[in-house]
Chains A and B, each alone.
Chain A
Amino acid sequence: MSRYFSWGNIPVLLVAVGLANTAQAANITIAVASNFTGPIKQIITDFEQQTGNHVRLTLGSSGKIFAQISHGAPFDIFLSADSVKPAALEKRGLTVPGSRFTYAIGTLALWSPRPGVAVKQGAILKSGKFDKLALANPRLAPYGVAAKQVLQSLKLYRALAPKLVMGENIAQTYQFVATGNADIGFVALSQLHHAKGSRWIVPHQLYQPIDQDAVILKAAKNNQAVFAFSRFLRAADARKIILAFGYKIPQ
């Protein structure tokens, strides 16, 4: 026995075991816009439990993920914060045709981590009794576009321009407000799942819908697990999670 076994063989054994495992369960890699961090983690947990597949998650801004995919990043599914980028990828032929769908519609909230701040109906915006208002950069982030539309609808955009500070994405915008460096900020309602303080869920008529589209990328066209995940995202369990985080879902 000792002739054939030595401790030095252990790594070989481990690699063999690892290979055996992957033969049964598939790996999928998904790239997700950071506003969807909360729901996607729960959805992945459920999906992995039910299917035994393994999901690798990359979080980031949609713009960065888009640039990476354009230059050959090996993602299987892309969950964008908007509908523009998945459509652009589709147009370039980088996706599986017909795989694009809206998985969630974002809801914008005006938030302050302090209780008792007059955020309701945007009262504080009209009074101007604050120092800094954080929003995501409208050039880069769909939530920023929506926030700008809200301010324009309220005819406050010009007046408040000097008080605006812009996060590169909605996660950084949240951070500005959470650390108190901005008094209030337009964030995604989904980010406020556990957050305290004062919030105003901005009525949808004040901004264009934030359609968040998902798309399967070309590299995954033969990966059944990826299609399974795409179906899972539209199934009842996932919808429940998405709704719970304050998103809407198209009928």
Chain B
Amino acid sequence: MNTGFSQADLIAIWLTLRIATVTTLVLLIIGSPIALWLARTGSRWKGPVSAVVALPLVLPPTVLGFYLLIIMGPNGPVGELTRALGLGTLPFTFWGLVVASTIYSLPFVVQPIQNAIEALGPRPLEVAATLRAGPWDRFFTIILPLARPGFVTAAILGFAHTVGEFGVILMVGGNIPGVTQVISVQIYDHVEAMEYTAAHWLSGGMVVFSFIILTLVYSFNRRRKSSGGTYGV
């Protein structure tokens, strides 16, 4: 009976952390402008765009994974583009998983940021604009510091959700050790292969990890509320 983590488990853990870190960064870079636009716009496209962002919340991961496999495959539009750029196709690669996880975790990042910016209201940005700050300047000196709790929550949730991601990765990953074999897939394999002890170690680790992350998010948000941080008058 083996205890602790096998070499393959450790590789999976390290890979998962790398994917989640890169995905979180990509999510913040892509999610922030989307959140900013959604928080500010009065456009009639707001509804449809919000819906698209929220789709991964309601769609089964297998649906997403299936379409990603087709779209990013050699005959899909994204696959043709990546091949034309000399990048090959994305499924079964590290970056393929980053793309899949980014799409899958997008609502978890966009919504906290959007809520934080909406709570801020337009006034601080208008004030900054009259003080000679351009759009980028305003983002970094006003939105980022004032909506920081939203960004922190978004980053934590995005990271945790990517770590916990399974269905989509199973569909587009191809289970390659060190490349696409992440913790959740490794757990699945352990269960399938009847290696229940190994599965317990990884699964237990995930439960503890998720608990810690969520505790952090909730205590962070509560501390913020009690400290008041209202803006304006």
A and B touch in the complex (CB under 8 A): yes
| A binding-site residues for B, Cβ under 8 Å | 61, 63-64, 66-67, 131-132, 134, 137, 139-140, 164-168, 172, 175-176, 179-182
A179-B69, A180-B73, A181-B89 as given contacts; A165 in contact with B176, CB under 8 Å: yes
Residue B194 interfacial (CB < 8 Å): yes
Asked if B174 lies at the interface with its beta carbon under 8 angstroms from chain A, I say yes
Shortest CB-to-CB span from A114 to chain B, Å, is 10
For A63, give its contact among B70, B171, B193 (CB under 8 Å): B193
Question: What per-residue 1/0 map shows which CB atoms of B24-45 lie under 8 Å from chain A?
Answer: 0000000000000000000000
Tell me the bound Cα distance from A64 to B187 in angstroms.
13
Residues of B within 8 A of A (CB): 69-70, 72-75, 79, 88-89, 91-92, 170-172, 174-176, 188-189, 191-194
Taking CB as reference atom, which chain B residue is nearest A88? B194
Q: How many A-B residue pairs have CB under 8 A?
A: 65
Contacts of B192 in A (CB 8 A): 61, 63-64, 67, 137, 139-140, 168
**Minimum CB distance partner of B71 in chain A:** A179
- CA–CA, A168 and B169, complex, Å: 11
A63: nearest chain-B partner, CB-CB:
B192
Contact present for A131 and B175 (CB under 8 Å): no
Q: Note all chain A residues with C-beta closer than 8 A to B193.
A: 63, 139-140
Min CB gap B69→A, angstroms: 5
For B70, the chain A residues whose CB sits under 8 A away are: 179
Q: How far is the CB of A110 from chain B (nearest CB, A)?
A: 17
**Which residues from chain B contact A139 at a C-beta distance below 8 Å?**
189, 192-193
Q: How far is the CB of A170 from chain B (nearest CB, A)?
A: 13
Contact A168 B75 (CB under 8 A): no
Give the residue of B74, B176, B191 whose beta carbon is less than 8 angstroms from that of A181: B74
Find B88's partner among A131, A168, A179 (CB 8 Å cutoff).
Answer: A131
Q: Given the complex of chains A and B, what is the CA–CA distance between A180 and B74 in angstroms?
A: 6
**14 further A-B pairs in the complex, CB-CB below 8 A; given A63-B193, A176-B174, A181-B74:** A63-B191, A63-B194, A66-B194, A137-B189, A139-B192, A165-B175, A165-B176, A168-B175, A172-B170, A172-B171, A176-B69, A180-B74, A181-B73, A181-B91
